[in-house]
Structure 1
Amino acid sequence: MRIGKQNQALTAIATSDADTITVRGYDLCSDLIGQIDFSDYFWLLVIGQKPTPAQRKMLDACLVAIAEHGLVPSVQAARMTLAAGPEAWQGAMAAGLLGMGSVVAGSTEVSGQYLAQGMAKAKSEGCDLETAVIASLNELKAARKKIPGLGHPQHSEGDPRAIKLLDLADEQGVSGRYVETLRMLAKHAPGIINRPLPINVSGAIPAVILDAGWPLEALKAVPLLARTAGLAAHLYEESLRSIGFIMSHQADVAISYDGAASKPSSSNS
């Protein structure tokens, strides 16, 4: 049974024959290997053209900013998976990547979508960006929802990673409509929500990389690639000095049982 469209059996990414391998119109061996760094290649693979120096700078900065994030749930899942199956690096890596949801790492995509929605709201309603941002914030407040891209439990005075990325975007001349929207949100959110809400790294990354020309539809690829590097470090360390079972034991110690009491067994007399 055929499902979905059947008339677009095409790819523009790569092909090969007996003599050559072509990637995005470049000969892999003569044009790319040893001639291009990985960030440029990542941009080329996804978008189909090499980045400008400013685009490369922003991509590198975003990847470095969130490659490592400590023992978050996705990292713990990866390390415990490797502890249970030391031969299964691919399974442990997959466990870590699968743990990147809307709260951890995937929050970059959520924030990017929210910024895009704010810009679209201003356009569709024929109002200025500030009016659209204020209306959006009031809607989230009424629904008691968090503001994507704003707030941090530790860096209440400002996420230093976000500050650095935004400053860099300004320096590189890539700051545009997305950064403007994010800064507008940060300007009005504290007064509307009545608490400090600085821009966090999950807000800064989509703003700067989308303004740099990265496609919204591929936004999640950036944190996925970054965290792959961080996971590799954790898995290598786990293979040398394992803490996977220590974390598992600490969970047993930290979490108390509050279910039903054990029922006494009955015996037939």
Structure 2
Amino acid sequence: MSEWLSREEALERLKVRPQTLYAYVSRGRIGMRPDRADPRRSQYRADDVAALATRRARGRSPSAIAESAIAWGEPSIATAISTVWHGRLVYRGRDAVALCEHATLEETAAVLWARPEPVSFEAQASSQLGRAPAFAQLATLAGQGRPSLGRSAASLCADAARAIGVLASAIGASPGSDPVHRRLARGWSVDDGGAEAIRRALVLLADHELNASTFAARVAASTGASPAACLLAGLATLSGPRHGGASEAVMQLADDAARHGADATIRRWLGHDRPLPGFGHPLYPEGDPRATALLAAIDDTDETLRSLETAAMAATGASANIDFALAVLTRSLGLPRDAPFHLFALGRSVGWAAHVVEQIVSGSIIRPRGRYEGLLP
């Protein structure tokens, strides 16, 4: 949970006047709430205060600002697509959790791509299914694709929709024009209730600011690469264990818990100084709302994972995140073991495409400088 500071504590840490503190609050840079012990007084979010204090202490030199933007730091690229605002995920001004209550991935794409109508992700059946065929088929499209420069947003979105359809088919979606969550449910032999949970997961995964895979897709787009090539860059980055591979680690954690018990498993992982996958998130100190929304749609929660969540909360105080929720979805519905990665890739491809178009329209190339620390001639 977030720590909250009194006004005096916030002023002391920031070394500013009260007027400046109130200005930070009004601009949304510091979260504020009534003091639960005395509603006449206010409290200020410690994480926001600490971030501002660090920036003030670091100064505003170009190198310091650039370095601070690399890891959970200051925003480095202007975007109108999504943000995390005081613990809420926002898609173009709309709360993603509220959107997932009713929207399909196709409707969510229309929101993120700023298109007037839902898009379609149709594709032919794939002869081979799985992660490797997904990479291979997307790579084939990338090799055949037209460069993005000078093209209209509508043309870029059409290419992206075709690539996403191919990706959906490669991970198991059946052919047809139905919403992709229903086609995926048919391919995975899941009932209507399971299809609704898959729909919700895809919407919640559609975008998440400038995460690593999205940044990779934008870098590719800034060079004028085809939409399929940009999506391939995002998919390659997503495959890393620190990104889209996190749910696979949760599945391993669940296997250990099934054999040894949840408490013993948590102690073993923490005792070996291994980060606990599936719990906590730097952008959601009070809990990942995506996980809460997805878990609420799963009726038959796996008992092993339920006990694992309780043990993890008791040991670390960290709430379940979206990676844990995807593992619960997979085990509860009996989905293929790599379903978390496939759902992540399919949902997030919609966000990659939105960022690709935005980057192309901006007309700029992403080319940071390195801070050389080696020998000179």
Matched, 1:141 2:270: yes
- Give identity over the alignment, percent: 24
TM-score by length of 1: 0.69
Give the equivalent residue in structure 1 for 2:372.
257
The aligned counterpart of 1:99 is: 237
Instruction: Kindly provide the amino acid, as one letter, of the partner of residue 199 in structure 2.
Output: D
Segments of 5+ residues of structure 2 without an aligned counterpart are 1-126, 130-168
Is contact 1:106-1:223 (8 Å) kept?
no
Q: 1:44 aligned to 169, 186, 205, which one? A: 186
The gaps in structure 1 that reach 5 residues or longer are 1-10, 14-22, 123-131, 264-269
Cα distance in 2 between the residues matched to 1:42 and 1:154: 30
- In the alignment, the residues of structure 1 paired with residue 296 and residue 279 of structure 2 have an alpha-carbon distance, to the nearest angstrom, of 17
Alpha-carbon distance, 1:149 to partner: 0.7
Which residue of the partner structure matches residue 323 of structure 2?
A: 202
Larger RCO (CA within 8 A; separation ≥ 6): 1
Structure 2 distance, partners of 1:154, 1:68, is 14
Q: Report the secondary structure of 1:184's partner residue.
A: helix
Distance 1:185 1:144 in 2: 18
Cα deviation 1:192-224 (Å, max 9, x = unaligned): 3xx421111111122023302312144421111
Q: Does the CA-based 8 Å contact 1:68-1:230 persist in structure 2?
A: yes
Q: 1:244 to 1:109 in 2, by over 3 A?
A: farther
Cα distance change on mapping 1:147 and 1:87 into 2, 3 Å: closer
On the 8 A contact 2:217/2:233 being kept in 1, the answer is yes
TM-score calculated relative to the size of structure 2:
0.50
Contact kept, 8 Å, 2:248 with 2:338, in 1: the verdict is: no
Kindly provide the CA deviation profile for residues 54-74 of structure 1, in whole angstroms up to 9, marking residues without a partner as x: 111110111111110111121
CA distance in structure 1 between the aligned counterparts of 2:201 and 2:356, rounded to whole angstroms: 22
Contact 1:58 1:209 in 2 (8 A): no
Q: Distance in 2 between matches of 1:204 and 1:52?
A: 19
Alignment-derived partner of residue 194 in structure 2: 55
Separation (CA, whole Å) in 2 of partners of 1:162 and 1:60: 14
CA distance in 1, matches of 2:296, 2:185: 22
- Residue of 82, 103, 125 corresponding to 2:221: 82
RMSD of aligned residue pairs (Cα, Å): 2.4
Kindly report which structure 2 residues correspond to 1:1-269, keeping only aligned pairs within 5 A, or say none: 33-34=176-177, 36-45=178-187, 47=188, 49=189, 51-84=190-223, 86-100=224-238, 101-119=240-258, 121-122=259-260, 132-169=261-298, 173=299, 175-177=300-302, 180-192=303-315, 195-245=316-366, 248-249=367-368, 252=369, 256-260=371-375, 262-263=376-377
**TM superposition outliers: structure 1 runs of 4+ over 6 Å:** none
Matched length: 207
C-alpha distance in structure 2 between counterparts of 1:41 and 1:94, whole Å: 22
| Cα distance in structure 2, aligned partners of 1:12 and 1:236 | 30
Give me the whole-angstrom Cα distance separating, in 2, the residues matched to 1:156 and 1:111. 20
CA distance in 2, matches of 1:108, 1:12: 23
Amino acid at match of 1:97: L
Is the Cα–Cα contact under 8 Å of residues 212 and 237 in structure 2 kept in the other structure? Answer: yes
Any idea what SS the aligned residue of 2:296 has? helix
Supply the AA of the counterpart residue of 1:176.
Answer: T
- Partner of 1:182, secondary structure, is helix
